[in-house]
Structure 1
Amino acid sequence: MKFRSKMWALPASVGVALAVGLALSLTVGVRNNRNLELLRTVETPYLEYLFEAERGVHQLQADFQAAASEGEAERLRDAQASADAVRNALTRARQLDGKGQPAEALVAAFDAYHSAALAATQAMLEHRIGPELVERMNNAQKELAVQTQRSREEAHRTLEARFQNVAQAQRDALTISTVLGVLIVVGLGLGSRAIITSVWNDLGAEPSDAAAAVQRVGSGDLSVHIDVVSQDTSSLIAYIAHMQDNLSDVVTHIRTGAETMADATTRIASENIDLSTRTEEQATALKQTARLMEELATTVRSNYEGGLNANAIVGSARDTALQGGTVVKQVVQTMESINASSKKIGDIIGVIDGIAFQTNILALNAAVEAARAGEQGRGFAVVASEVRNLASRAAAAAKEIKALIVSSVDSVDAGYQLVEQAGSTMDQIVDGVRRAADIMGEITAESAHQSEEIERIKQSIFQMDQVTRQNAELVVKAADAAQSLQQQANAMVEAVSVFKVASASWPALGR
């Protein structure tokens, strides 16, 4: 049950008890008022009407006797007035609640008596009275007396019963009031004890002690020990003590955590500053590296372009060497033919002039080809010159051919050997030029590949430079955040320092 409900339970119980008592009192009072109302409006008027009717009957009898004794018929009018008064009283009695039947009996008995008495009186006045009329009047009078007596006794009994009911109702009201008062007093005592005990168990201590404990906790003093009855775990003071213990633990943990966080944020801020410095140095180094890579890329690009030019020159030289090799092969073949012709010179002396002429032409061609070969064809040019000289002398000294044939053959052999050497040299030159062209092609391709790789490295370094700059900015922001966190941690430490937690000695909060 809620505390407010318990506080309202006692006055509510009193109200319920008073309401029950009031309801019972009202019930008894209504019944008593009903009886009193019946006494006032029915029973008492009924007796009065009966008495009035009885007096009227006596007056009627007196009027009949006076009329009969005095012999005056005029007295019958007085008797009629008395009879009307009796009937009026009985009529009013008959109109009362519950009195209709006895009043009807009285009216019937009175009518019978009035009729018999009027007939007997008139007979007496006329001097013709008979015993039957007198007997009829006497019987009717007796019957009326009996009915009147019966009605009067019944009215008295009813009136007495009504008075007894009123008295009983008063006694019942007194009894109910007494019993209800005792029950209310006992119930209030027991209820008050139960409610006070329950409220005390809910509070666990005096309200002033609970208020003082809450005030101390609210002011930040968590070192006050709150006395709690053993095995009390559900009272207000027990909850306050439990709250204080938990709050003290929380404040202790928060204070420890805040101090630890303050130290950690201090270190983080210092390390962030160092990291920011190192990041800036790294960004500077990356910037220098990017500049050097740009220079290296320019150099490699220049080497690549030079390689392309050299490759073109080597290609041209290779083509020239190939052409020279072809010419040398032709010369070799020619020299072989000359050598063969020289060996058969003795058999073809007759055609020496033609051979000399052809040799001269071949020497001219060889000289031209040697001139084309440049430095590589210089030796061959000498040979070609000698061949021309030989051809000229052969043409000029045809007659001396026989004498010089041996010398000519030897010279041809020497020229053949030189031509073979020149051909071999030309082949080596062609092979060297081809290998140089291949190497230059590989160098050019490798330079192109290096240029592409250096470009990629340059892009990577540029991206690294951007990332490093972003990292530097983030490090600066992290340093600012660490400083802000440090300030917040210090503020938290200052805020928690307001609380005073428990120590070895506990100042007790008395009850």
Structure 2
Amino acid sequence: MPPHSVTGREAPYPRGHTLVSVTNPEGRITYANAAFVQLSGHARNDLIGQTHAVLRHPDMPSQAFADLWHTLKSGKPWSGIVKNRRANGDHVWIRLNATPMREGERITGYLAVATEPSRESVQHAEPLYAQMRQGVGHLALVDGEILRTDALGRLGRLLRPGPVGRLLALQSLAFFPALSAAQTWGVLAWPTAVALLGGLGISTWLLQRRLLGPIAQVARDADRIAAGDLSYKVAVSADSPAFEIQLALRRVSANVRAVVMDTRAGIDQVQQAAQEIASGNLDLSARTESQAGSLAQTTASVEHIQARVHETATTAEAGAQRADQTALLAERSDHAVHAVVESVAQINQTSKRIADIIQVVEGVAFQTNILALNAAVEAARAGEAGRGFAVVAAEVRALAQRTTAAAREIRSHINASVECVEAGTSRTQDARDRMEEVLSAVRALKALLGDIRTAALEQEGGIGQIHSAVAQLDGITQQNTAMVEEIAASAQALQSQVDEVSGSLRLFRL
């Protein structure tokens, strides 16, 4: 929006609020309270250092501001109706009361206090301002009051004399009867009139000095106090006609000074407490952030450990399953070895039976050999008749000898086989014992893996509880963080309010 554009909309004056601002002797804003800043629509930093022209509405006649500054620079207060422009182009009506601020007799700035005007005063001032802006109507502003400058206006002001005029009017009530009496008693008219007129002037001057002078001084004293100069000492004279007013004004100044001093002391304590709260809250915020970071790292570590423990439990369960399979294979191998042992034992028994049979065969061959020898002896006795029988006996004897040799060889092989079988039986038994040990070890490993899995599951449950506790603690920490932020905002708002009140109190000179 252009800087001087207007919308024609009237913004309502905030009921119950007072707008306070201070300008330096050059007219630049050095202080503005929160209500002033809010109603203006500008940021505080945009107002400080600017003149009140930033709030000037184009509907206000230039004569109003000329009269304002002429009155203030002459050391007098100014009061009038003003139409201000807000930052968004809306307008607001205010009753402005401006007072010079002094250090001694030197003007150090101007205090402006604005209140809500009545609608009647706004409706009265608005058309008159329009006429002044257009240069019609013979109007002028004097000390904030809109006056007519034509003959009718001057006549009206004459008919409404000031304090001096009223004194003259009262004195004239005695002058004319005295002059009439002088004429009645034959006293010279002109000398008497001159004397009476001189006496009237002197008495008027004495009355003005005696009565109006103290009243004007009381007005000036009131202006100093109204400007916030509570260090100003109101002069009190017991023989003054304004003695009671001066005394009351001094009491007002002393009472306000005491209240402002107590309020300043309280505000200083509140300001110190607010600063301590802000400092402590800043430290608490840093600690809370550090705790939140530590909890985040702890949560990540717990999640990592939980994942590792879960992997351990899964691995242990897989190992237990493999151990079950290994145990099953070991049991099968044990059964197979046991079957081999039994088969070897059966072979050993069979070999022993064969050895027994060989022994029988050897016995039969020996008997056959004996019988063949006997047959050969008998055949020799028989001579030619037994020659054929002798040949048969010789063949039988040779067969018996070969049978015996074969039986011996078979016995030798059988014995060797028996020895091998016995050695194989021993080794097979050793293998079975080893297989039993392997099976026992596999079963022990299975039990150990089961214990590991159970422990891992218990650890996983415990770590899960730790994770839940850490998550709950993290939630509490997050709540604490939010509360710390709320406290920080409240502390900042409190500090702003304290600064605002402190700034307002600094307007009073103690």
Fold match by TM threshold 0.5:
no
The structure in which a higher percent of residues are helix is 1
Larger radius of gyration: 1
Query: What TM-score do the two structures reach when normalised by structure 2?
Result: 0.36
TM-score (norm 1): 0.36
